Amino acid sequence: WVSAADGRIQGWDWEASDENGFTELMNRSGWVDIEAIATQDQVNGHDSKIRVKIVTASEEENEFFFPGFIDTHIHAPQYPNAGLFGSSTLLDWLETYTFPVESRFGSPPDPKTGHQTQTDPKDTPLLAQQIYDQVISRTLSHGTTCASYYATTHVPATNALSSLCHSRGQRAFIGRACMDNPDFCVDYYRDFSADDSIVATRQTIEYIHTLDPDGKLVKPIITPRFAPSCTRPALQSLGKLAASYSPPLHIQTHISENINELALVKELFPEADSYAAVYDKYNLLTSRTILAHAVHLTADERALIRTRDAKVSHCPASNSALGSGICPVRTLLDDGITVGLGTDVSGGYSPSILEAARQACLSSRLLGHSAAWQKDHPQGDGWEKLSVPESLYLGTRGGAAVVDMASDLGGFDMGMLWDVQLIRLGRVKLVEKSPLDGVVDGSVDLVKAGPVGNVDLFGTESWEEKIQKWVWSGDDRNVKAVWVGGRLVHSRV
Ligand code: GUN
Ligand code: FE
């Protein structure tokens, strides 16, 4: 049962727990273990299996519990732009689509003083409240129980996102985006000094620490947007700021996403040996750092990231949509780097980690067809391909390790937090007469039948097969209920 006091798994005696509507949904019936990750020390020593609790209590045997998804990289203010990118690539996409929408979440700092003009919670634009509320609803409905959010530069709106996650019950890391480099950032949306960037960042950290003093649900995360958006003094101060807390704060940023971005980093930081070395120089490459994308890393950079035990957020939907490239995930894993999945909304077009898992499988299947890969891997044995269980592993246990919560999240181990989704697969109910015999059109209740796909027509599919069909053809209509720390935070009839 899930202990009401701390929302952790204490056993499987459902009858003992009448909290949050559990009992009507559950009955003991058994486990299915899905094997995942066939390489690299079973990913840093964690259990290679995803244990899925199968529920056969309902009249139809089509439901199972699955660990909540962990989105290790998502931009909350970009949600209104999901699906909007045209034929842009990273740098022009930022200017054309992204900075304009993010700038709407508050007023810019005063260019004379450099200070934020708005620091009061009541200065949060209504638009920011509404969009952030919608992002939380939407990600919860897709089974995301924990997300590492980028907000904007605006303190009031960033604090509002923190409060909303806290009150709605979504586990979250919240980062105020730091962007003080006038050589890259646009004047209508940037910090006007490194000092002001740090002061504003501190304000959001203090707000979150007051909101959730033990960090049970919401934690701050230091967020230099990426190297080009920050000056050297800002990067240095952010590294120091993260280290000044005990335990040190989490850090998130982007790395090696796009070829033009790599050239820009070289131009802006000519003294650095590599992109990863820029972050390392300012103590931003730590075991609590989440690096998004990591598509074009060199072997030396991978070794450095491994040495620092920094983590990678793989964002395959975004990498394809913005034409950034195909991330060699297997190489990262084999080099001993911890990897999770990110939606990267709105570089990514979907708020769903199920979609990210699907795209992780798809992009890994295309990787072997690229000339660059073939040059380095002439054996062509398909080693690079990720399986469905592996992609699910990355979306759960992998993500848990990325946010440094591997012993709390991502599975059903005793003592873990009850951050869980109840998945319902679609069913066809065979009717007595065939349509040809005059059964009225529309007699199938589509809501009861559930989503398209996932139909076990002959009742012969194994759970492994059902789960494959869920990953390849499922969506948020399959998510019947979601809990975070034992609290029911989403359900659909
Ligand atoms: N690099 C810097 N900012 C961003 C962003 O908002 N999205 C993505 N995908 N890459 C970035
Ligand atoms: Fe991103």
Q: Which of 97, 98, 229, 264 to mutate to test the pocket of ligand 1 (most atoms within 8 A of CB)?
A: 98
Amino acid at position 355, single letter: E
Question: What are the average pLDDT values for consecutive 10-residue runs of the chain, which has 493 residues?
Answer: 73 53 50 57 50 59 87 98 97 97 90 80 86 98 98 96 97 98 96 96 98 97 98 98 98 98 98 98 98 98 98 98 97 94 98 98 96 91 91 94 95 89 77 52 58 73 87 93 92 85
How far is it, in rounded angstroms, from Cα 106 to Cα 93?
A: 21
Whether residue 344 has its Cβ less than 6 Å from ligand 1: yes
Query: What beta strand segments (E) does 166-217 contain?
Result: 171-175, 177-178
Cβ neighbours for 18, distance < 8 A, ≥ 6 positions apart? none
Q: How far is the CA of 88 from the centre of ligand 1 (A)?
A: 13
Which of 99, 128, 181, 165 has its CA nearest to residue 118? 128
For tokens 């499987």, the residue is 12
Q: With a threshold of 0.95, tell me whether the complex ipTM lies above it.
A: yes
Query: What beta strand segments (E) does 20-168 contain?
Result: 31-35, 49-55, 63-67, 69-75, 144-150
How far is it, in rounded angstroms, from Cα 391 to Cα 421?
A: 17
CB 454 within 8 A of CB 468: no
Partners of residue 53 on adjacent β-strands: 31, 65
What pLDDT, on a 0 to 100 scale, did the predictor assign at position 62? 78
CB 178 within 8 A of CB 190: no
Ligand nearest to the CA of 292: 2
Q: How far is the CA of 84 from the centre of ligand 1 (A)?
A: 14
Start-to-end Cα distance in the chain: 24
Q: Which of 73, 90, 343 to mutate to test the pocket of ligand 1 (most atoms within 8 A of CB)?
A: 90
How far is it, in rounded angstroms, from Cα 376 to Cα 77?
A: 39
Q: pTM value?
A: 0.93
Which of 248, 187, 183, 196 has its CA nearest to residue 220? 248
Phi, psi (deg, nearest 5) at residue 43: 50, 85
What pLDDT, on a 0 to 100 scale, did the predictor assign at position 36? 60
What pLDDT, on a 0 to 100 scale, did the predictor assign at position 312? 98
What pLDDT, on a 0 to 100 scale, did the predictor assign at position 183? 96
Where are the alpha helices (H) located in 254-352, listed in sequence order? 259-268, 275-281, 299-308, 316-321, 329-334
What pLDDT, on a 0 to 100 scale, did the predictor assign at position 198? 97
For tokens 């890391």, the residue is 173
Q: Whose CA is nearest to atom 3 of ligand 1?
A: 225
What pLDDT, on a 0 to 100 scale, did the predictor assign at position 40? 43
Q: How far is the CA of 180 from the centre of ligand 2 (A)?
A: 18
